[in-house]
């Protein structure tokens, strides 16, 4: 199955993986510097190299031709569409923010810092590959590149027991689900005789007419769903999330909560849309295997958000609380997948962009407070508003945005997602999500309440360095700006699908 | 000289003040208060001009401003006012100004208080001027943030509980409204452009509704969603439990804003959104709404009678008085009742504001609000007793004071449609008279309590906040036409639209 519009020469196709190549170069450079200058382990040098590598990786994008939905390259392994084109800078931003956050909070020891930057770059590279892949084999390779390296990142603090435990849990879950996913892929391959997604989608539409193939198709879809739900931390594969998020160094938690999660959702789009809605808005999905997949996913979405929100209520550790909140947000994001429409796709992409800023922002504050002498427990936030007003106001804004209150970006993201399901007339899911917003208000406000409404129990002075403040400002501007005027971003996502 | 874009100026001028306050150094709290006061004076002047210049015979929107905001969703920055908005805007501007003065004794976190208060001011005016559903929603929600902090930081002993309860209750209503808003968005097509629309004036045109929005079930559910959202705000029994807590814990000025303006947003929302968008459902729900109104009147009055805390008593009396508004709004056989209802919205705003300010006065001095612990206060503070007497008599509906006229109009109008409900509702007036007179007697009359014998008389600043309200109460009691003139044409149009 070869589309007309594909880049014949692999040599020519190389230019399309420019970002990944530049990242590889940056990784090698950091490795070299780390080896050649073992006694000169200045963090700032690695930071500069890593940020330069990430920034440089997006430069070649503007030299490449206009993206098109059927423009494939490197023997049909990758596609050069708008989703690919825009995902790469997205992940570069995720990487840059993570590196900067690690730099300003100093949570990672100097001895592990260069490895940490290398791993962040490598995971970013894996994510960039993943979102462009349209071939099952390539998808799996990129998925594992991203996965295995993020297990390492979680356990990077070698001497910290919790970090190690988290990494082990992550590995076990990850190995299980990616194995399951691979098995699902092999079934799909057996059914379609090809690993190319486009070819598969056409064979599947055909196969689903035959009762004997239907069961196979159902099993295949169920199996690769496992991998997707794991990466996005959705029910019923969300159990790893709180432990891993709590145990990992906070900047890495921030990274995991937006990077691999976003990659998981992009993969969701890549796998499901060609399978279920070839004509985008068409209702072809009903034919696939005779099961109503959107309704099943809608149920998963509703359970995920409710479970995440209810579990978050009782958390006293902020990282665990935000972990459960990120499970809830996976549930919200699934609403966009469920709706199987252009608007659904746009809403997922839009939400991921705003989620990036507000969620990294919230984790950044947690990391900054912890490194300035506080802790990750909610107790150390009591009365913090009077002692560190700037940081606390920023935190409040990120949290209000996560709740989805205007005039913050999270509100607009939620409107998009709600619009997507209401457009598809899945009203019950919209109402469930609406009530979930109210539940989530309660636990996010617990933090706000501790910061502003309660009297301090300890009197330690919180000093936040200027670099941290600047980083927070960089996250605040889009969180506020996109809430008030989001037409530019709306135009970009409308152009995508 | 009035600026162009008058409504925008009026809405966002307080926000400019809030921005300015953030840059005042911490050691000048008085400067911050001054800026806050200065930020509320021009809007009051503009609102007064608006009142004078407003064309009373027009049924359309005036002072309209409309520019595209988010083209991708066809959202407009769309402002305009009609006869229902003008009194509300005027009330908001007046009470904001008065409340800044009433907040002069705030000495804790001055910057935060006044900045948040001005943000609240902006969002309230925004709600009353927005004609785009999306904008309405943004302002509606924006109000929650400052309110939460104003109750939660500067409130009484149980402020945390009260603040979160207020927030949770209101948010339940808001998110339901959000869902309904999006259903309407996708259920409508603007004929001129073929786009979906948030424009309230377009959505009111029933012919733009798509087939699925014409189904009875969808319309019924939409109306229910909106109704719950607004009923929480009004609040109607059984959605009212947040109100006594919020009122009791909130600082004086915030109680005034809560009772004076926020509660009106519920009834305003029904008039602005529910009725025009779903007139058929408005008819279907009328009896139900009137019944809830009646229950609120009686239940609120009975609860008020049982209170020992002065502030809680007034909070419950608000529930009772807002019940009259709901009852009057549910009558479509004549325009008398609905005119009375909107007049009651305005009157309740002024009277309750006075009541809360008066409670604030005594609480600042005695630091308790227990009705039974006072006694013979009329001897200690005669001027204060005079103001309180006026406010109490206004609240219980004494002829010659403003509330009498609005409640009488509501009852006269609703008697034509709901005989039994109206007759039962009149007992509410008796109950109201009973608890206000009884409270009056316990606090001001009887033997003088020696413990409070040396309480200082009401100060000039406090009298200054009360006097304009007292004048309005007396004036509208004798001659209600200044308000009735304003709202008549619009309400006639509203009723005609609902009746179909």
| Residue B146 pLDDT | 94
Residue B450, chain A, CB below 8 Å: the answer is: no
Alpha-helical runs (H) found in A193-249: 197-207, 211-231, 240-247
pLDDT tens, B468-491?
Answer: 999 999 999 999 999 999 998 999
What ipTM was assigned to the predicted interfaces of this complex? 0.93
SS3 B332: coil
The structure tokens listed for A403 are 């709740």
Q: Does B113 touch chain A (CB under 8 A)?
A: no
Q: Which residue has the higher pLDDT, B175 or A461?
A: B175
Query: Are B320 and B231 in the same domain?
Result: no
Residue A422 to residue B183, Cβ atoms within 8 A: yes
Number of CB atoms found within 10 A of residue B134's CB: 26
Q: How far is residue B306's CA from residue B100's CA, in Å, rounded to a whole number? A: 32
- Which positions in chain A touch B159 (Cβ < 8 Å)? 453
Instruction: Determine, yes or no, domain membership for B284.
Output: no
Q: Are B308 and B272 found together in one domain?
A: no
Q: Which two tokens stand for residue B446?
A: 């009887």
User: HEC states along B272-309?
Assistant: HHHHHHCHHHHHHHHHHHHHHHHHHHHHHHHHHHHCCE
Q: What would the DSSP string read from start to end of B120-142?
A: HHHHHHHHHHB-BHHHHHHHHHH
- Report CB contact under 8 Å: A445, B149: no
Do B352 and B456 lie in one domain? The reply is yes
Which of B408, B384, B295, B395 has the alpha carbon at shortest distance from B349?
B395
Would the CB atoms of B70 and A437 count as touching at under 8 Å? no
The answer to whether the CB atoms of B164 and A411 lie below 8 A apart is: no
Cα end-to-end distance, chain B, whole Å:
41
Residue B70 has pLDDT above 70, yes or no: yes
Signed CA dihedral, A166, A171, A172, A178: sign only = positive
pLDDT of residue A339: 84
Residue A406 phi/psi, 5° resolution? -70, 155
In a domain, B207, yes or no: yes
The per-residue pLDDT for A288 is: 62
- Amino acid A282: pLDDT: 47
Domain edges within chain A? 22-65+73-278, 292-497
Percent share of chain B, pLDDT over 70 = 100
Confidence of residue B116 (pLDDT cuts 50, 70, 90): very high
Please report the pLDDT score of residue A289 as a whole number: 61
Residue A285 has pLDDT above 90, yes or no: no
Among A418, A438, A452, beta carbon nearest to B149: A452
Number of separate domains in chain B:
2
Q: Examine the domain organization and report whether B271 and B300 are in the same domain.
A: no
Q: Is residue B106 part of a domain?
A: yes
Structural domain includes residue B286? no
B421 token code pair: 């409900």
Last residue of a domain, one of B277, B305, B327: B277
What would the pLDDT profile of B14-25 be if each residue is shown by its tens digit? Answer: 999 999 999 999
pLDDT at A40: 59
Does residue A313 sit at the B interface (CB-CB below 8 Å)? no
Q: Single out the residue of B240, B265, B5 nearest to residue B124, CA to CA.
A: B265
CA neighbours closer than 13 Å in the CB half-sphere of residue A348: 30
Report the candidate in B284, B17, B243, B67 with the shortest Cα–Cα distance to residue B151. B243
B481 lies in some domain: yes
A 10 A CB-CB count for B127 gives 29
> Are A146 and A130 within 8 A, CB to CB?
yes
Pair of tokens at residue A319: 């990282």
Q: Which two tokens stand for residue A381?
A: 């936030």
- Considering only residues 59 to 78 of chain B, which have any Cβ-Cβ distance to chain A shorter than 8 Å? 69-73
Given this model, what pLDDT does residue A283 score? 47
Query: Mean of the pLDDT values across residues A32-43?
Result: 75
- CA-CA distance, A372 to A380, in Å (whole number)? 11
Cβ contact A115:A156 at 8 Å: yes
pLDDT per position as a tens digit, A199-213:
887 777 776 677 777
A126 CB neighbour count, 10 Å cutoff: 26
Q: List the single range of A5-14, A267-276, A450-459, B121-130 with lowest mean pLDDT.
A: A5-14
Count of beta carbons in the 10 Å neighbourhood of residue A462: 15
Amino acid A5: pLDDT: 57
Q: How many CA atoms lie within 13 A of B16 on its CB side?
A: 12
Three-class HEC string of B348-367:
HHHHHHHHHHHHHHHHHHHC
B315, B228: one domain: no
B12 inside 8 A of chain A by CB = no
Q: Do the Cβ atoms of A418 and B148 come within 8 Å?
A: no
Give the residue-averaged pLDDT of A287-291.
62
Residue B283 belongs to a domain: no
Beta bridge partners of B65: B79
Min distance B199 CA to chain A CA atoms (Å): 16
Same domain, B31 and B175: yes
d(CA B230, CA B265): 8
Higher pLDDT, A286 or B323: B323
A422: tokens are 């209401």
CB contact under 8 Å between A423 and B186, yes or no, is: yes
Contact residues on chain B for A434, CB-CB shorter than 8 A: 175-176, 178-179
Burial of A212 by CB count in 10 Å (0-12 exposed, 13-18 middle, 19+ buried)?
exposed
Give the model confidence (pLDDT) of A213-250 as tens digits. Answer: 778 888 888 898 888 899 888 988 899 999 999 989 99
Q: How confident is the model at residue A281 (pLDDT cuts 50, 70, 90)?
A: very low
CB B212 within 8 A of CB A422: no
Is 50 exceeded by the pLDDT of residue A278?
A: yes
- Cβ of A438 within 8 Å of Cβ of B175? The answer is yes
Determine, for residues A441 and B168 on separate chains, whether the beta-carbon distance falls below 8 Å: yes
Q: What is the mean pLDDT of residues A43-64?
A: 88
**Closest Cα to residue B311, out of B248, B245, B398, B387?**
B248
B23, B71, B72, B109: best mutation site toward chain A, by most A Cβ within 10 Å? B72
Nearest CA in chain B to A443: B164
Is A395 in the B-facing interface, judged by CB distances under 8 Å? no
Report how far residue A467's alpha carbon sits from residue A105's, in angstroms, rounded to the nearest whole number: 9
Write down the pLDDT at residue A201.
79
> Does the structure show a pLDDT above 60 at A489?
yes
Chain B contact set for A419 (CB, 8 A): 182, 185-186
By Cβ distance, the residue of A435, A441, A486 closest to B70 is A486
Q: Does A390 reach chain B within 8 Å, measured CB to CB?
A: no
- Interface residue of B145, B155, B197, B198 to substitute, partner A, most A CBs within 10 Å: B145
Residue A135's beta-bridge partner residues? A196
**Residue A76 in contact with residue A196, Cβ under 8 Å?**
yes
Instruction: Say yes or no: B255 and B393 in one domain.
Output: no
Q: Same structural domain for residues B322 and B255? A: no
- With contact defined as beta carbons under 8 Å apart, do A328 and A312 qualify? yes
- Sequence-distant (6+) residues with CB within 8 A of A138 are A77, A78, A129
The domain boundary, picked from B245, B277, B309, lies at: B277
Centre a 10 Å sphere on the Cβ of residue B486 and count the other Cβ atoms it contains: 23
Residue labelled with tokens 């206000």: B436
Tell me what pLDDT residue B44 has.
95
B381 lies in a domain?
yes
- Which range is least confidently modeled, A348-352, B73-77, B450-454? B450-454
Smallest CA–CA distance, residue A393 to chain B, in Å, is: 11
Distance CA B201, CA B136 (A): 13
A427 touching chain B per CB within 8 A:
yes
Sign of the C-alpha dihedral computed for residues A319, A321, A322 and A324 taken in this order: positive
Q: Show residues of chain B in contact with A400, CB under 8 Å.
A: 145
The residue with greater pLDDT, A257 or B59, is A257
For testing the chain B interface, which of A392, A441, A442 should be mutated: the one with the most B CBs within 10 Å?
A: A441
Q: What is the mean pLDDT of residues A313-333?
A: 94
Kindly indicate the confidence band of residue A290, based on its pLDDT and cuts at 50, 70 and 90: low
Long-range contacts of A166-175 (CB under 8 A, 24+ apart): A166/A243, A166/A244, A166/A245, A166/A246, A166/A247, A166/A248, A167/A244, A167/A247, A167/A248, A169/A240, A169/A243, A169/A244, A169/A247, A170/A240, A170/A244, A173/A230, A173/A237, A173/A239, A173/A240, A174/A147, A174/A148, A174/A230, A174/A240
Distance between CA atoms of A127 and A403, rounded to whole angstroms?
27
- For every residue of B148-189, DSSP letters joined together read HHHHHHHS-TTHHHHHHHHHHHHHHHHHHHHHHHHHHHHTB-
pLDDT band at A394, cuts 50/70/90? very high
Question: Chain B interface, mutation test: which of A406, A444, A488, A496, most B Cβ atoms within 10 Å?
Answer: A406
Dihedral (Cα; A354, A360, A365, A366), 10-degree rounding: 130
Cβ distance B152 to A452 less than 8 Å, yes or no, reads: yes
pLDDT confidence tier of residue A160, bands split at 50, 70 and 90: confident
CA distances to B294, B324, B325, B390 from B396, rounded to whole Å, are: 16, 13, 15, 10
State residue A396's pLDDT score.
Answer: 95
B306 CB neighbour count, 10 Å cutoff: 10
Do A449 and B153 count as a contact with CB atoms less than 8 A apart?
A: no
Q: Tell me if chain A has a CB within 8 Å of the CB of B178.
A: yes
Pairing of strands B62-70, A78-79: unpaired
DSSP label at residue B77: E
Contact B320, B301 (CB under 8 A): yes
Of A434, A486, A491, the CB nearest to B179: A434
- Chain A CB contacts of B212 under 8 Å are 425
Contact A419 B160 (CB under 8 A): no
Quote the pTM value. Answer: 0.94
- Per-residue pLDDT tens over the stretch B144-164: 999 999 999 998 889 999 999
CB atoms within 10 A of CB A177: 22
pLDDT digits (tens, 9 = 90+) for A413-429: 999 999 999 998 889 99
pLDDT band at B183 (very low <50, low <70, confident <90, very high): very high
Q: Tell me the C-alpha distance between A427 and B103, whole Å.
A: 45
Residue A453 near chain B (CB below 8 Å): yes
DSSP B81: E
Chain segment A57-116, per-residue pLDDT in tens? 988 888 888 888 778 888 788 888 888 888 999 999 999 999 999 988 878 877 788 888
In this structure, are B153 and B250 located in the same domain?
yes
Window 219-248 of B, Cβ < 8 Å to A: 221
- CA B7 from chain centre, in angstroms, equals 19
The pLDDT tens digits of the residues spanning B325-362 come to 999 999 999 999 999 999 999 999 999 999 999 999 99
Chain A residues with CB-CB distance to B186 below 8 A: 419, 422-423
Out of B220, B255, B277, a domain closes at B277
- Rounded Cα distance between B490 and A271, Å, is 55
CB contact under 8 A, A427 and B72: no
Write out the residue range of the structural domain in which residue B328 sits.
291-500
Per-residue pLDDT tens over the stretch B398-423? 999 999 999 999 999 999 999 999 99
* pLDDT surpasses 70 at B434: yes
Q: What is the dihedral of CA A330, A336, A340, A342, to 10 degrees?
A: -140
Q: Residue A486, SS3?
A: coil
* pLDDT at residue number B138: 95
The shortest CB-CB distance from B182 to any of A418, A441, A494 is to: A418
B282 falls within a domain: no
- Does B137 sit within 8 Å of A453, measured CB to CB? no
Residue B153 and residue A453: Cβ atoms within 8 Å? yes
How far apart CA B389 and CA A20 sit, in angstroms, is 79
- Confidence check: pLDDT of A284 > 70: no
User: Do residue B179 and residue A486 have CB atoms under 8 angstroms apart?
Assistant: no
- pLDDT of amino acid B359: 93
In this prediction, residue A216 carries a pLDDT of 83
Mean residue pLDDT across chain A: 87
Give residue-wise pLDDT tens across range B206-230: 888 888 889 999 999 999 999 999 9
Chain B residues lying within 8 Å of A490, measured CB to CB? 70-73
Rounded CA gap, B218 and B213, in Å?
A: 6
Chain A partners of B73 at a C-beta cutoff of 8 Å?
490
Assess A418–B contact: CB distance below 8 Å, yes or no. Answer: yes
Per DSSP, the three-state class of A81 is coil
Q: Is the pLDDT of residue A1 over 60?
A: no
Are the Cβ atoms of B186 and A490 closer than 8 angstroms? Answer: no
């Amino acid at each position: 199955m070869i589309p007309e519009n594909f880049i014949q020469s692999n040599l020519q196709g190389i230019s399309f993986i420019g970002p990944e190549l530049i990242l590889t170069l940056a990784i090698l450079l950091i490795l070299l510097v780390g080896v050649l200058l073992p006694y000169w382990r200045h963090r700032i040098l690695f930071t500069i190299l890593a940020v330069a590598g990430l920034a440089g990786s997006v430069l070649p994008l503007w030299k490449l031709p206009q993206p098109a939905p059927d423009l494939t390259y490197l023997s049909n392994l990758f596609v050069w569409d708008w989703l690919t084109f825009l995902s790469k800078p997205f992940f570069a931003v995720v990487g840059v923010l993570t590196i900067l956050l690690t730099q300003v909070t100093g949570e990672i020891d100097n001895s592990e810092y260069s490895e940490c930057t290398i791993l962040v770059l490598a995971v970013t590279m894996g994510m960039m590959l993943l979102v462009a892949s349209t071939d099952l084999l390539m998808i799996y390779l990129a998925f594992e590149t991203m996965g295995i390296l993020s297990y390492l990142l979680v356990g990077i603090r070698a001497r910290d027991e919790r970090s190690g435990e988290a990494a082990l849990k992550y590995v076990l879950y990850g190995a299980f689900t990616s194995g399951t996913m691979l098995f699902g892929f092999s079934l799909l391959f057996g059914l379609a005789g090809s690993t190319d997604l486009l070819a598969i989608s056409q064979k599947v539409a055909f196969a689903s007419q035959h009762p004997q193939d239907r069961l196979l198709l159902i099993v295949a879809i169920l199996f690769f769903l496992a991998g997707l739900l794991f990466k996005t931390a959705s029910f019923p594969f969300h159990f790893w999330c709180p432990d891993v998020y709590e145990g990992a160094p906070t900047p890495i938690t921030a990274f995991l909560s937006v990077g691999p999660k976003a990659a998981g959702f992009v993969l969701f789009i890549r796998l499901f849309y060609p399978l279920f809605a070839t004509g985008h808005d068409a209702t072809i999905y009903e034919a696939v295997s005779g099961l109503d997949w959107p309704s099943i996913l809608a149920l998963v979405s509703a359970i995920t958000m409710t479970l995440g929100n209810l579990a978050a209520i009782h958390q006293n550790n902020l990282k665990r609380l935000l972990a459960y909140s990120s499970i809830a947000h996976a549930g919200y994001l699934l609403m966009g997948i469920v709706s199987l429409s252009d608007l659904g796709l746009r809403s997922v992409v839009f939400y991921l962009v705003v989620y990036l800023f507000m969620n990294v922002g919230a984790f950044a504050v947690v990391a900054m407070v912890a490194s300035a002498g506080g802790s990750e427990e909610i107790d150390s936030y009591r009365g913090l508003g009077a002692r560190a007003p700037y940081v606390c106001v920023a935190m409040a804004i990120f949290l209000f945005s996560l709740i989805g209150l205007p005039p913050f970006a999270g509100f607009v993201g939620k409107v998009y997602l709600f619009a997507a399901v209401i457009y598809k007339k899945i009203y019950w899911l919209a109402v469930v999500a609406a009530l979930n917003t109210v539940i989530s208000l309660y636990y996010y406000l617990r933090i706000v309440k501790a910061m502003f409404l309660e009297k301090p129990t300890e009197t330690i002075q919180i000093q936040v360095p200027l670099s941290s403040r600047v980083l927070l400002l960089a996250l605040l501007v889009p969180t506020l700006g996109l809430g008030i005027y989001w037409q530019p971003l709306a135009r970009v996502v409308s152009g995508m699908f | 000289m009035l600026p162009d874009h008058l409504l925008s100026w009026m809405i966002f001028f307080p926000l400019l003040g809030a921005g300015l306050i953030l840059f005042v150094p911490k050691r000048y709290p008085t400067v911050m208060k001054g800026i806050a006061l200065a930020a509320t004076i021009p809007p009051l002047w503009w609102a007064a001009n608006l009142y004078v210049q407003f064309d009373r015979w027009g049924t359309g929107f005036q002072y309209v401003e409309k520019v595209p905001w988010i083209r991708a969703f066809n959202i407009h920055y769309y402002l305009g006012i009609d006869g229902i908005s003008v009194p509300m805007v005027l009330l908001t501007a007046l009470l904001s100004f008065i409340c800044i003065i009433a907040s002069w004794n705030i000495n804790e976190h001055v910057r935060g208080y006044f900045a948040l208060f001005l943000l609240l001011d902006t969002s309230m005016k925004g709600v009353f001027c927005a004609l785009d559903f999306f904008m309405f929603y943004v302002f509606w929600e924006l109000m929650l943030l400052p309110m939460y902090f104003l109750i939660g930081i500067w409130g009484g002993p149980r402020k945390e509980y009260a603040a979160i309860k207020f927030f949770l209750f209101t948010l339940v209503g808001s998110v339901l409204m959000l869902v309904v808003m999006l259903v309407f968005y996708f259920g409508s097509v603007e004929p001129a452009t073929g786009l979906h629309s948030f424009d309230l004036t377009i959505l009111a045109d029933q012919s733009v509704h798509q087939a699925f929005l014409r189904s009875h079930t969808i319309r019924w559910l939409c109306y229910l969603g909106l109704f719950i959202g607004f009923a929480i705000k009004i609040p109607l029994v059984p959605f009212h439990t947040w109100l006594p807590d919020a009122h009791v814990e909130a600082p004086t000025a915030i109680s005034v804003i809560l009772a004076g303006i926020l509660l009106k947003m519920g009834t305003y929302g029904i008039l602005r959104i529910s009725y025009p968008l779903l007139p058929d459902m408005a008819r279907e729900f009328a009896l139900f709404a009137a019944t809830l109104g009646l229950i609120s009147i009686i239940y609120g009055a009975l609860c008020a009678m049982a209170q020992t805390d002065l502030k809680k008593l007034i909070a419950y009396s608000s529930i009772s008085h807002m019940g009259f508004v709901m009852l009057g709004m549910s009558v479509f056989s004549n325009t008398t009742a609905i005119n009375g209802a909107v007049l009651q919205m305005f009157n309740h705003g002024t009277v309750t504001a006075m009541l809360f300010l008066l409670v604030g006065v005594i609480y600042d001095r005695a630091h308790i609000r227990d009705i039974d612990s006072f006694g013979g206060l009329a001897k200690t503070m005669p001027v204060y007793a005079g103001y309180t007497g006026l406010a109490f008599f206004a609240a219980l509906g004494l002829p010659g004071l403003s509330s009498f006229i609005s409640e009488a109009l509501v009852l006269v109008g609703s008697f034509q449609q709901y005989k039994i409900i109206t007759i039962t509702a009149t007992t509410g007036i008796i109950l109201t008279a009973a608890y206000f007179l009884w409270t009056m007697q316990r606090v001001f009359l009887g033997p003088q309590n020696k413990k409070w014998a040396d309480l200082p008389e009401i100060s000039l600043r406090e009298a200054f906040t009360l006097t304009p309200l007292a004048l309005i109460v007396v004036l509208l009691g004798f001659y209600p036409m200044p308000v009735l003139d304003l709202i008549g044409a619009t309400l006639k149009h509203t009723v005609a639209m609902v009746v179909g």
